[in-house]
């Protein structure tokens, strides 16, 4: 061996040794940092270098969060910890500690992120990331979208779309070329909700081709939600991020078209119209007073906020519809009471849309909807990031940068009488558990970022339950483990809610078309 090669060999060997020692030092420091943050809180004693427990989370999210819940229950602390790809996480099952997080969304405490990698997907300036006075001002601007008059407009649109999809579901299940077969409802319900959201939010401003592109992009976004944030060309996460940009651009165009319609003095026919009607009024008042342009009123900004609404409404609503079907099937007495109540208020043969007043009369059906949401809250976890060290309890301070997961699911099974039992009567006027245990009902969040569209979401669920139970006979195609919870990304039955469907009513009602309603 020549001296040069010998020298190179020695240098390479030394370099390899140094590199190995450096990596081992990083691993050691990572473990020490994790253990220091963990303190005596329940959680794994050791974690895999660099990735932590990311693999179990991605492969079996239900088992992962069940384990975190078990760890949190193992002591009286009410929370547990773990480590995911360089992120220290805190899982909270105790209701009062969850409220403490929700109440402290501010620059120097917790930042709501909606999704662990949400800012990379949604951008920095969307509604869920706003705080303080900006957040209050924006919510005030959104308020006209959910007045009784606006909700009544949406109710009519929702029913037309629900009916069209229910009819197609029955046709799919009763395919003439085969014997009656069970069909999975998850994708069908998701498609129904996507069309409902598109129609309610931006009404006539999405043409057929735009809707098709919209649906493709939203599918890419949904896939990316469940992937690791590897932002390289061709990855699911990159495809999702680019899809969000296109979706926001499409919604910004719809905003521009709505502004033009409202400037002509036409009546609102969808959510963006109600929003722009009020926004244009404020812009005009500001101009007359010589003030500056109104914040949160550009087409691009509003397009981003509309996407927030879409994200909040789409998957959460799909989850609730599926669990409603599953729970009504497994509780026939509840189903019978729903059918009796609806029959006393509305008949398909009337060919009339269910009015807002009739919807309010459906007290038991409303209780069923609220119990579905309590029993299976769709967004089980609400991620926040600790911007600074935060004293969660007298004995434990959450470290800066930790991702904190208050669990709406865990709170739903605390406080209520027999919380493990599906019991809509808990929300009756006699028992009023929704008031007595109000702090435990966290399906729509709490604090300054509580869901602004919860009335719309509940109306949608009540309408679906009323129409599905009245118009359709259904039976679950039950298999072992079919009702186990899976994350997709909200929670759904493991079997995607497989059901046999057939028409129950003498004939379907004749509703006007969406085009006739919004013209």
Tell me the binding residues.
Answer: 451
Give the Cα separation of 397 and 304 in Å (integer). 34
What SS3 class is residue 36?
helix
Length of the chain: 519
| Angle, in degrees to the nearest 10, between helices 208-225 and 186-202 | 120
Give the Cα separation of 140 and 132 in Å (integer). 13
Q: Which residues are annotated as a binding site for heme?
A: 451
- Report residue 300 as tokens: 């691009």
What SS3 class is residue 130?
coil
CA neighbor of 493 nearest in space, from 506, 479, 514, 512: 479
Tell me the residue ranges of DSSP E strands in 55-129: 79-84, 87-92, 110-112
Place of tokens 């991020």: 241
517: left (phi over 0), alpha (psi -120 to 50) or beta: alpha
| Backbone φ, ψ for residue 68 (5° rounding) | -60, -40
Give the Cα separation of 488 and 493 in Å (integer). 10
Place of tokens 């799919």: 172
In order of 255, 299, 318, the CA distances from 252 in angstroms are: 5, 5, 25
* DSSP tag of 43: S
CB 127 within 8 A of CB 137: no
Give the Cα separation of 339 and 350 in Å (integer). 16
Give the Cα separation of 325 and 48 in Å (integer). 41
**3-state per-residue secondary structure call for 353-390:** CCCHHHHHHCHHHHHHHHHHHHHCCCCCECCEEECCCE
- Report residue 361 as tokens: 């009369």
CA neighbor of 436 nearest in space, from 404, 451, 414, 406: 414
Give the Cα separation of 141 and 275 in Å (integer). 8
Q: Which stretch of DSSP H or E encloses residue 225?
A: helix 208-225
CB 144 within 8 A of CB 272: no
- Residue 412 neighbours by CB under 8 Å, 6+ apart: 374, 375, 377, 419, 440, 441, 442, 443
């Amino acid at each position: 061996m020549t001296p040069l090669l010998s020298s190179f060999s020695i240098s390479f060997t030394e370099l390899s040794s140094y590199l190995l020692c450096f990596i081992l030092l990083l691993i050691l420091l990572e473990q020490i940092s994790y253990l220091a943050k963990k303190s005596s809180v329940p959680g794994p004693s050791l974690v895999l270098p660099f990735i932590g427990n990311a693999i179990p989370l991605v492969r079996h999210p239900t088992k992962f969060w069940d384990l975190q819940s078990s760890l949190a229950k193992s002591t009286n602390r009410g929370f547990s910890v773990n480590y995911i790809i360089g992120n220290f996480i805190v899982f909270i099952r105790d209701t009062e500690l969850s409220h403490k997080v929700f109440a402290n969304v501010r620059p120097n405490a917790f930042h709501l992120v909606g999704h662990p990698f949400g800012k990379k997907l949604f951008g920095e300036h969307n509604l869920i990331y706003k705080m303080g006075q900006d957040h209050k001002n924006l919510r005030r601007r959104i308020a006209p979208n959910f007045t009784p008059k606006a909700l009544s407009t949406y109710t009519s649109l929702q029913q037309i779309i629900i009916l069209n999809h229910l009819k197609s579901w029955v046709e799919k299940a009763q395919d003439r070329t085969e014997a009656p077969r069970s069909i999975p409802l998850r994708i069908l319900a998701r498609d129904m909700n996507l069309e409902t959201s598109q129609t309610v939010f931006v009404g006539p401003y999405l043409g057929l081709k735009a809707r098709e592109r919209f649906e493709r992009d939203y599918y890419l976004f949904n896939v990316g939600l469940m992937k690791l944030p590897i932002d390289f060309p061709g990855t699911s996460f990159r495809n999702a991020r680019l899809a969000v940009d296109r979706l926001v651009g499409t919604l910004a165009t719809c905003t521009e078209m709505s502004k033009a319609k409202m400037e002509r003095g036409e009546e609102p026919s969808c959510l963006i119209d109600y929003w722009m009607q009020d926004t244009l009024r404020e812009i005009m008042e500001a101009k007359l007073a010589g003030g500056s342009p109104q914040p949160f009123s550009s087409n691009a900004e509003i397009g981003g906020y509309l996407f927030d609404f879409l994200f909040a409404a789409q998957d959460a609503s799909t989850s609730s519809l599926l669990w409603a079907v599953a729970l009504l099937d497994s509780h026939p007495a509840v189903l019978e009471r729903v059918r009796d109540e609806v029959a006393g208020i509305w008949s398909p043969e009337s060919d009339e849309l269910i009015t807002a007043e009739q919807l309010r009369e459906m007290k038991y059906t409303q209780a069923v909807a609220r119990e579905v949401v309590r029993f299976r809250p769709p967004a089980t976890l609400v991620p926040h990031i600790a911007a600074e060290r935060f004293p969660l309890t007298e004995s434990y301070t959450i470290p800066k940068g930790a991702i904190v997961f208050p669990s709406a699911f865990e709170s739903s099974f605390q406080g209520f009488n027999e919380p493990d039992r599906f019991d809509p009567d808990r929300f009756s006027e006699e028992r009023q558990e929704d008031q007595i245990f109000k702090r435990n009902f966290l399906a729509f969040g709490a604090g300054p970022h509580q869901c602004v569209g919860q009335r719309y979401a509940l109306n949608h669920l009540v309408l679906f339950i009323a129409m599905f139970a009245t118009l359709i006979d259904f039976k679950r195609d039950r298999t072992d483990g079919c009702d186990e919870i899976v994350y997709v990304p909200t929670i759904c039955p493991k079997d995607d809610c497989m059901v046999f469907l057939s028409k129950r009513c003498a004939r379907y009602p004749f509703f006007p078309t969406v085009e006739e309603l919004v013209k």
